[in-house]
Copies of this chain bind each other. A is one copy, B any other.
Amino acid sequence: MDPSTTGGGRRGLTAAAVPDLVAAARDGRSRAVGRLLSLVEDESPLLPEVMRTLAPHVGHARIIGLTGAPGVGKSTSTNALVAELRRRGDRVAVLAVDPSSPFSGGALLGDRIRMSDHATDSGVFIRSMAARGHLGGLSWATPQAMRVLDGAGFDVVLVETVGVGQSEVEVAGHADSTVVLLAPGMGDGIQAAKAGILEIGDLYVVNKADRDGASKVRRDLRSMLALAERPDQAWRPPVLMTTAASGDGVAAVVDALAEHRDWLTATGELERRRVRRVRDEIEALALGALRRRWEAVGSDGRLDRLARAVVAGESDPYAAADSLLPDA
């Protein structure tokens, strides 16, 4: 391997070294995967080169989103799901996205400890990621990170988000299948109230099934799902019960995910979701590039100045938009 890819940290990396780094990641070397993800987090100028190199290898991983309010047992559930997927022979990458945190490196160690069951398993890769990049946050960084893990050859990419409103919905938009976790004793109304959870789940899991009230949560959720159902809805999300801490019910969740996967493939919905997702990704990248141009003019930001002029009645939105656009 070119020494420039191994020595001197990220700064030493050059475009010429990207193919070796990608090859190392695809060989299953965690450190290389981690470095590629750092390039995403750092919004490295090498990313276009990385993505170009990964392109032929992308599209094989099953992308599973896992979301739910704090306290429902997300990390325990992730842990249990990873164990079950490993049992079935899948290489699994976990991307824990925390949209409320501008930091990422710090959480990494915590996650490794948390997931210590898998610490010595080279078929499992775990990474925490902050999602607050200035290029547009979640909508920008998460798909790039997913693309890296997919291209690195993992069979399953599990994207876990802390449930904080809009970000759940965004992550759901990026996954092939989205699992929404709930638990008894959390104030069900509140849980469901957060960011229209009823609309994003392909699969609902009531965790802590051994606790009082778990059946009630399932019952309430089923009524709410029935009320929220759209006439054109072809997939009816099942509501399963787990006790992630003991592993009870987790195999059934993986089975249900496989069923959803089959449905996605058979109906062509998988292709549709992926094209839609990539469309959004391309638009986000193009818009991000344009925003940087718009905001780069003057320290105040060109867009802000234009907006203030419109608010002051000195201009109008059309003239402002027009002045942002290059000639056709």
Q: Which A residues are within 8 Å of any B CB, using their own CB?
A: 47-48, 51-52, 54-59, 143-144, 147, 165-166, 187-190, 192-199, 220, 224, 227-228, 271, 274-276, 278-279, 281-283, 285-287, 289-291, 293, 303-304, 306-308, 310-322, 324-328
- How far apart are A314's CB and chain B's nearest CB, in angstroms? 7
Q: Are B187 and A227 closer than 8 Å at their CB atoms?
A: yes
Choose one: B54, B189, B321; the contact of A282 (CB below 8 Å).
Answer: B321
Residues of B near A322 (CB, < 8 A) are 48, 286, 289
Q: Are A195 and B192 closer than 8 Å at their CB atoms?
A: no
Q: Are B289 and A321 closer than 8 Å at their CB atoms?
A: yes
Choose one: B189, B220, B281, B304; the contact of A279 (CB below 8 Å).
Answer: B304
Chain B residue nearest in CB terms to A143: B317
Chain B residue nearest in CB terms to A197: B193
Chain B residue nearest in CB terms to A188: B189
Chain B residue nearest in CB terms to A281: B317
The answer to whether residues A317 and B190 also contact, given A165-B196, A304-B275, A325-B286 and a CB cut-off of 8 A, is: no
> Given A187-B227, A190-B227, A286-B325, 19 more contacts at CB 8 Å?
A52-B316, A52-B319, A56-B313, A144-B317, A165-B196, A188-B189, A189-B193, A193-B193, A193-B196, A193-B198, A195-B195, A195-B196, A278-B307, A278-B310, A282-B303, A282-B306, A282-B307, A285-B318, A289-B322
Q: Are A275 and B307 closer than 8 Å at their CB atoms?
A: yes
CA distance A76 to B90 in the complex (A): 57
Q: Are B51 and A318 closer than 8 Å at their CB atoms?
A: yes
Interface of A is mostly: helix
Oligomer: number of copies: 2
Q: Are B193 and A55 closer than 8 Å at their CB atoms?
A: no
Chain B residue nearest in CB terms to A327: B326
Chain B residue nearest in CB terms to A318: B48
The answer to whether residues A316 and B55 also contact, given A224-B193, A311-B274 and a CB cut-off of 8 A, is: yes
- How far apart are A284's CB and chain B's nearest CB, in angstroms? 8
- How far apart are A282's CB and chain B's nearest CB, in angstroms? 5
Choose one: B271, B289, B321; the contact of A311 (CB below 8 Å).
Answer: B271
Residues of B near A274 (CB, < 8 A) are 311
A193, A199, A228, A326 pick with most chain B CB within 10 angstroms: A193
Residues of B near A282 (CB, < 8 A) are 303, 306-307, 310, 317, 320-321, 324
